[in-house]
């Protein structure tokens, strides 16, 4: 039993992928802001900080936005430290962004196991990293105001897990679209597109009724400031059947 991302790493996809990234429609957003080319903090931490801070900025309470970080902190007996960091996330000032990065450092204990955890005190984003995170969160909130509103965020798939895939959590759901945030410097890959399809198939079998209205899969990359969209009814039925049975195990 593995997570969605671990399962994707095990699967040999057909040539080009189950869903080819180029099948997604590209929408380029423009705010004329420039990001610094380098960051001193691991890309996973940056991505989680952007994701959680975007949720927080859009009105999700900090304890809810950082819930996986808090769960991770409990596993390494650092929950007091984590709660102090949560209380100190108050906006997009430097210190809130640093605290968000430290909190994201607890996620690994929950997602990959306690052995993978490293003390979060070593996470110290520099000026360039902080600035980039702030711009990406601002882009995230601008994106959600245009493509939102959010009907669900930070969701899991109770009722949709299987003997094969036992964990995984999605980013955002708007009225008709399941969204994943990616802060990669590269365009989406077929691993990203398979992840979205798996989330959709698991979501539509889960206890969450909101998935019944989903018509599109979307990726938003605030680093590139690009949106990628695909209509689910454009995905061949044999692809959906194969992913459901061979990849997820329905």
Q: Report the pLDDT value the prediction gives residue 236, as an integer from 0 to 100.
A: 96
What confidence score (pLDDT) does residue 235 get?
96
Predicted pLDDT at 54: 93
Domain ranges of the chain: 1-34+139-250, 41-125
Per-residue model confidence as pLDDT tens digits over 162-218: 999 998 888 889 999 999 999 999 999 999 999 999 999 999 999 999 999 999 999
DSSP line for the chain: -EEHHHHHHH--PPTT-SS-GGGSEEEE--------S--SS-HHHHHHHHHHHHHHHTT--HHHHTHHHHHHHHHTT-HHHHHHHHHT--SSSHHHHHHHHHHHTTHHHHHT-GGG---GGG----HHHHHHHHHHHHHHHHHHHHH--EEEES---TTT--SSEEE----EEESSEEEEE---SS---HHHHHHHHHHHHHHHTSS-GGGGG--EEEEEETTTTEEEEEEGGGS-HHHHHHIIIIII--
- pLDDT score for 1: 80
Q: Does the pTM of the predicted model rise above 0.85?
A: yes
What are the tens digits of pLDDT across the range 143-152? 999 998 889 8
174-189 pLDDT, tens digit per residue, is: 999 999 999 999 999 9
Q: What is the mean pLDDT, run by run of 10 residues, along the chain of 250 residues? A: 91 96 96 95 95 92 95 96 97 98 94 90 97 97 91 91 92 93 94 96 94 96 97 96 96
- Structure confidence at residue 171 (pLDDT): 87
Residue 154 has a pLDDT of: 84
């Amino acid at each position: 039993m593995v997570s969605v991302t671990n399962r994707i790493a095990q699967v040999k996809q057909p040539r080009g992928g189950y869903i080819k990234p180029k099948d997604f429609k590209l929408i380029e957003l423009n705010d004329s802001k420039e990001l610094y080319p380098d960051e001193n903090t691991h890309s996973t931490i940056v991505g989680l900080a952007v994701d959680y801070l975007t949720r927080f900025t859009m009105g999700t309470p900090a304890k809810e936005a950082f819930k996986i970080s808090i769960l991770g902190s409990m596993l390494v007996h650092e929950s007091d430290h984590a709660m102090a960091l949560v209380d100190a996330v108050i906006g997009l000032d430097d210190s809130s962004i640093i605290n968000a990065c430290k909190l994201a450092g607890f996620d690994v204990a929950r997602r990959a196991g306690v052995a993978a955890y490293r003390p979060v005190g070593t996470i110290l984003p520099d000026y360039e990293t902080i600035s980039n995170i702030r711009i990406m969160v601002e882009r995230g909130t601008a994106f959600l105001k245009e493509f939102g509103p959010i009907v669900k965020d930070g969701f899991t798939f109770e009722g949709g897990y299987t003997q094969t895939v036992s964990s995984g959590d999605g980013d955002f759901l708007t009225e008709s679209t399941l969204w994943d945030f990616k802060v990669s410097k590269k365009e989406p890959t077929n691993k990203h597109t398979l992840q979205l399809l798996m989330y959709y198939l698991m979501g539509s079998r889960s206890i969450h009724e909101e998935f019944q209205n989903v018509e599109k899969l979307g990726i938003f990359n605030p680093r590139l400031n690009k949106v990628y969209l695909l209509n689910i009814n454009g995905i061949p039925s044999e692809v959906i059947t194969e992913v459901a049975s061979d990849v997820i195990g329905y």
